[in-house]
Amino acid sequence: MEIRELRYFVAVVETGSFTAAAKALHMTQPALSWNIKQLEEKLETQLIERTQSGVVVTESGQVFYDGAKDVVAQINRLDRLMKSEALRIKRKIKFGLTILSSINYMEQFQGFVGKYPGVELNFVQRGSKEIQEMMIQDKVDVALISEPIYYPKLASNAKRLEGYYYDVGIVLPKNHRLANRQSVTFDDIKEESIALVSDAYAIGQEVPKRCKALGFTPNITYQNDNWEVVLEHVAAYDSISILPIDLAKIFKRDDLKWIGLDDDVIGRFHLQLVTNLDNSNIDEFNIFQNLYHELNC
């Protein structure tokens, strides 16, 4: 899912019609309609009902809009912060990170831009595993990724950031048998139906590995790239999911409960700053060093 698709959907909902949204977005109405249809197909749910008087947001569409508008607002703010310090000549850096990191650490990125206005950070948002693949393909210069590092080539120019991590939790329906627990272990959930993010994310990679190491195969019944769609599956099908617990602050839902995962291997994912910038080029590598210092101070 692309940020532009979130922007398109938010515009349609807020203007109340495809025609008005297309005008605001400076694009044709057929192109906008096609993009929204593609988004619905990706999410496998109808977001908008088209009527003669405009559009009506479905129940699923309202849930998606509530989350999407917050993400778009944060991304727009981050874009404005980057552009406000723009100079005539900038060193453009392609910076990979997850949407969760872009929201959690916006203040630190703002601090870097303020101190080093000659550098422009162009953000690329994907899952941690996918970002690492993009670095191997030289599509990203610097990235804030969660451990583990899957490619040895990246490890030599990687630095762990002290105090940068996300804790992992279990999300389940409020009436679930485990909902009153303070925390659970993998042994508690090995018989549960699990909805999980795809293997583009570190969690999607590491949960099956951890379960296998503990001697069982997890009952993963559903996977999707989109966190909110995973949460919808949890609510609709009485399943559970394993996600960064910080998402509870972003996707506020009264029908779901978040509890801690008690596991000493993947209960917490630490973050590392990784670079493809050439350390033989002092000026270029200093950008990485300065960014590391700004994030780690």
For residue 164, give the nearest of 112, 207, 110, 101 by alpha carbon.
101
> Would the pLDDT of 283 be above 60?
no
pLDDT in the model for residue 41: 87
> Would the pLDDT of 77 be above 90?
no
Q: Are residues 134 and 226 in the same domain?
A: no
Q: Are residues 189 and 225 in the same domain?
A: yes
> Would the pLDDT of 21 be above 70?
yes
Q: Are residues 156 and 276 in the same domain?
A: yes
- Which amino acid is present at 81? L
In a domain, 77, yes or no: no
Tens digits of residue pLDDT in 96-155: 988 888 888 888 887 777 777 777 788 888 899 999 999 989 898 888 999 999 988 888
203's enclosing H/E stretch is: helix 202-213
pTM value is 0.64
Q: What are phi and psi of 117, to 5 degrees?
A: -65, -10
Q: Residue 118: which domain range? A: 85-161+271-296
In a domain, 186, yes or no: yes
Lowest mean pLDDT among 16-25, 58-67, 77-86, 223-232: 77-86
CATH code, domain with 142: 3.40.190.10
pLDDT in the model for residue 102: 82
Q: Are residues 182 and 265 in the same domain?
A: yes
**Distances in whole angstroms, Cα of residue 275 to Cα of each of 5, 47, 153, 174, 294:** 28, 39, 10, 42, 15
Pairwise CA distance, residues 232 & 195, whole Å: 10
Asked if 153 and 259 touch (Cβ cutoff 8 Å), the reply is: no
pLDDT in the model for residue 285: 52
Q: Are residues 243 and 279 in the same domain?
A: no
119 exposure class (CB count in 10 Å sphere: 0-12, 13-18, 19+): buried
Asked if 148 and 206 touch (Cβ cutoff 8 Å), the reply is: yes
Domain boundary among 29, 44, 72: 72
pLDDT in the model for residue 204: 94
CATH code, domain with 49: 1.10.10.10
In a domain, 79, yes or no: no
Tens digits of residue pLDDT in 218-268: 999 999 988 899 999 999 999 999 999 999 888 888 999 999 999 999 999
In a domain, 78, yes or no: no
Structure-derived torsion over alpha carbons of residues 159, 161, 258, 228, reported in degrees to the nearest 10? -60
> Would the pLDDT of 38 be above 80?
yes
Query: How many domains are there within the chain?
Result: 3
Q: Are residues 240 and 152 in the same domain?
A: no
pLDDT in the model for residue 90: 65
Tens digits of residue pLDDT in 161-219: 888 899 999 999 999 999 999 999 999 999 999 999 999 999 999 999 999 999 999 99
